[in-house]
C-alpha cells in the first residue's frame, strides 16, 4: 500500500468543469430563496413589532418555529412530507428554494426587527410631525436608515444560506456538493474533489462579502 499519499492536482483540476455544473443550482436556490426570505423577513419582522397582539403572535410563532428547527429537517419535510398533504410531488429545486426562503425568512425577520427598532424614536416623531403618514414616515425616514444598519447581518444570513444549500444534496438537487459526490463515485478522489468544492463555496461567499463591504461603504457616505 502506498503510504505516501500524493495529492493529485490533475484530478482536482479535472473535477472543476464537472463541479461548475452544480453552481447554477447553488446560486439559483440561494438567491431566489434569499430574495423570498427577504420579503418574508420584512413582512414578519414588521408584524413582529406591531402593537396588535393578533398580528404579533403569528410572526413570533413563525420565527420561533423556523429558527428552532434544522434546515435539513425543513427541506425533508417539504420534499417528502408536503407531497402527502398536497397529493402531488414537489420538485427538488422548488423544495430547496422553499426551505431557504422560510428558514432565512425567520432569521431576516429578526434582523429587520432589530434594524427598525434601532432607529431613534425621534426620527419617527419628526416624520409624523411634518405630516408624513405612518407609511411614508416608514418608507422615507425609518427604512432607509434601518436598512443600512441591517446590511452586515443580512450579509451573514446570505452566506449562511448559501452554505445551507449544500444540504440539499440529500434530496438529489444537482448542486455543488451533489456534483462532487457523483464525481467522486466514479473517480474516488474524495480529498481533491471536496477541496475543490470547498474552494468554490469560498469563491461565492467571498464575492458576496466583498460586494457587501462595498455596499456598506457606499451607504456610509451619507452618514
Partner 1 sequence: MKRTDTMKTNSTAKPIVRMEKLNKHFGPLHVLKDVDLAVIPGEVVVIIGASGSGKSTLIRCINGLEEFQQGYLDVDGKVLKPHGKASQALQEIRTEVGMVFQQFNLFPHLSVLENVTLAPRKVRQASREEAMNTAHRLLERVGIADQASKYPAQLSGGQQQRVALARALAMEPRLMLFDEPTSALDPEMIGEVLDAMRELARDGMTMVIVTHEMNFAREVADRVIYIHQGEIIEQGTPDEVFDNPQNERTQSFLSRVLTH
Residues that bind partner 1 (CB under 8 A): 120, 122-123, 125-134, 136, 140-141, 144-145, 148, 222-223
Work out how close the CB of 57 gets to partner 1 at its nearest, in angstroms, rounded to a whole number.
21
Work out how close the CB of 73 gets to partner 1 at its nearest, in angstroms, rounded to a whole number.
40
Q: Which is nearer to partner 1, 67 or 134 (CB)?
A: 134
Q: Quote the cell numbers at residue 187.
A: 473517480
Q: Which is nearer to partner 1, 18 or 147 (CB)?
A: 147
Work out how close the CB of 119 gets to partner 1 at its nearest, in angstroms, rounded to a whole number.
10
Q: Which is nearer to partner 1, 16 or 130 (CB)?
A: 130
Work out how close the CB of 217 gets to partner 1 at its nearest, in angstroms, rounded to a whole number.
15
Q: Which is nearer to partner 1, 105 or 127 (CB)?
A: 127
C-alpha 189/C-alpha 209 separation (Å) is: 30
Amino acid at each position: 500500500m502506498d503510504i505516501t499519499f500524493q495529492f493529485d492536482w490533475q484530478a482536482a483540476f479535472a473535477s472543476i468543469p464537472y463541479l461548475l455544473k452544480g453552481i447554477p443550482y447553488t446560486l439559483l436556490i440561494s438567491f431566489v430563496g434569499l430574495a423570498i426570505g427577504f420579503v418574508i423577513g420584512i413582512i414578519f419582522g414588521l408584524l413582529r413589532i406591531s402593537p396588535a397582539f393578533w398580528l404579533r403572535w403569528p410572526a413570533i410563532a413563525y420565527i420561533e418555529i423556523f429558527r428552532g428547527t434544522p434546515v435539513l429537517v425543513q427541506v425533508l419535510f417539504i420534499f417528502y412530507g408536503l407531497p402527502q398533504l398536497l397529493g402531488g410531488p414537489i420538485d427538488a429545486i422548488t423544495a430547496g428554494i422553499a426551505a431557504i426562503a422560510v428558514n432565512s425568512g425567520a432569521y431576516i425577520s429578526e434582523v429587520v426587527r432589530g434594524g427598525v427598532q434601532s432607529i431613534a424614536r425621534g426620527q419617527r416623531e419628526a416624520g409624523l410631525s411634518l405630516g408624513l403618514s405612518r407609511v411614508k414616515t416608514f418608507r422615507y425616514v425609518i427604512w432607509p436608515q434601518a436598512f443600512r444598519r441591517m446590511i452586515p447581518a443580512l450579509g451573514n444570513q446570505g452566506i449562511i444560506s448559501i452554505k445551507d444549500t449544500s444540504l440539499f444534496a440529500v434530496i438529489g438537487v444537482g448542486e455543488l456538493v451533489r456534483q462532487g459526490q457523483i464525481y467522486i463515485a466514479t473517480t474516488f478522489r474524495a480529498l481533491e474533489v471536496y477541496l475543490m468544492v470547498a474552494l468554490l463555496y469560498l469563491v461565492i461567499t467571498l464575492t458576496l462579502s466583498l460586494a457587501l463591504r462595498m455596499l456598506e461603504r457606499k451607504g456610509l457616505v451619507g452618514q
